Structure 1
Amino acid sequence: MVKLNKIYTRTGDDGTTGLVDGSRRGKHEPRMAAIGEVDEANSALGLAALVVPPDAGAELTRIQNDLFDLGADLATPGSDFAPGEMTLRVVPGQVAWLEAMIDARNAALPPLTSFILPGGSEAAARVHLARAITRRAERAAVALAAQEPVNPAALAYLNRLSDYLFVLARALNAGRDPLWVPGASR
């Protein structure tokens, strides 16, 4: 269990931060950007969880926990992606759970006939915002993976999460998605 007695350490005042392996990295580096984007996505999910029905709220809380695992995964450099007693790694089972949630929610939705606008209800709008931030987090993680090894399951998780959030937003709109009308303002 994590125990934080002191919130500030002053060790980051020089523009670096510590990783799980004890190394220090610049706060501007791609690894830290990816971790920060995941944190922002997690915060957006917390905002969405305030207004969704309890079943969706429970799913979002589980995902928030998974995103902490994902942040810890990104904060652990190296190419050994096996989880261990002291090493948190996203595992394929977490991705599979998201896929099952996508399939279950999508089965109850009408087929799409148009692109949809990110909105509708307040709950759907908040989930769409979290989806867009998650996509940014995925882009940051993919950019990191172009330079350093990144757990493939972590990348898959972020990709699936944006899909899940899209389907959840549609479900929250109960089939009343605002549709894109191409060229409507010409």
Structure 2
Amino acid sequence: MQLYTRTGDKGYTSIIGGQKVAKDSNRVIAYGTLDELNSIVGIAVSLIQEDEVLSDDLQQIQQFLFDCGSDIATPHGYAEYRLNKDHTLWLESRVDYYSDKAPSVQSFILPGGTTLASVLHFARTVARRAERDIVHFQWDNDMNSEVVRFVNRLSDYFYAIARYVNANESKDDVFYERSGKVFHQITKEDIDDFK
């Protein structure tokens, strides 16, 4: 199988449906950042020793990241989107699951800890960049709005599992020394009331 096609040599690529777009377009930047994030998640999976549940979760996240990228690469109305509200609800349930397994904090922590937790914190920051890139693309394009919600929750997910991994390895979080109380204890009911 030949991997190169030479079709991108002039700075263009084809999206779903065959339309050619510049490789530095907002669309390509957005799904490119998701691809980068997916690779980081792959590194995290390779570092997991015995936690099959976490490994399965992360591989499911990788599947969803491909769905997000596909939705961004699909021009509005060309095909059905792959990601939907159920995926975001699943992700929220996983955030809740892992958040309950680490001590609560009210201050900023330094990204780090075990090698796996450090990679997960790195994934969190790339998820934030992906969110910014997707929002930038969204301003001028019709797209699946569920992708923005899902990727927004992803950074919370990576934060929660990084803390879970450190707690499991008895690795204490290191607090940012000049942080005040920035996190408040809120419940799902508080969030629902806010809606």
Q: TM-score of the superposition, structure 2-length normalised? A: 0.84
Q: Which amino acid is the alignment partner of residue 165 of structure 1?
A: F
Task: Give the Cα separation in 2 of the matches to 1:94 and 1:6.
Answer: 35
Q: Which moved more, 1:99-108 or 1:165-174?
A: 99-108
Q: Which residue pairs with 2:61 in the alignment? A: 63
Secondary structure (helix, strand or coil) at the match of 2:2 reads coil
1:1-186 to 2 correspondences below 5 Å: 5-52=1-48, 53-78=51-76, 80=77, 83=80, 88-174=81-167, 176-182=172-178
Q: How many residues align?
A: 174
CA RMSD in angstroms comes to: 1.6
2:30–2:133 CA contact under 8 A, matched in 1: yes
Q: Give the CA deviation at 1:81.
A: 8.9
Flag as ranges the 4+ runs of structure 1 deviating above 6 A: none
DSSP-derived class of the 1:43 partner = helix
SS at match of 1:17: strand
**1:82 to partner: Cα distance:** 7.3
Residue type of the alignment partner of 1:47: I
Alpha-carbon deviations, 1:142-163, whole Å to 9, x = none? 0000111121111111001111
Q: Alignment partner of 2:8: what SS?
A: helix
User: TM-score with structure 1 length normalisation?
Assistant: 0.88
* Residue identity opposite 1:151 in structure 2: N
1:27 & 1:96 partners in 2: Cα distance? 32
Compute the displacement of 1:57 (Å).
Answer: 1.3
Is this contact kept in 1: 2:37–2:123, CA < 8 A?
A: yes
Aligned letter for 2:55?
Answer: G
Structure 1 spans left out of the alignment, 5+ residues: none
Q: Percent identity?
A: 38
Structure 1 contact 81–151 (Cα < 8 Å) conserved: no
Indicate the larger mover: 92-101 or 49-58. Answer: 49-58
Q: Amino acid of the residue matched to residue 130 of structure 1?
A: A
Q: What's 2:190 paired with?
A: none
**2:30–2:134 contact (8 Å) kept in structure 1:** yes
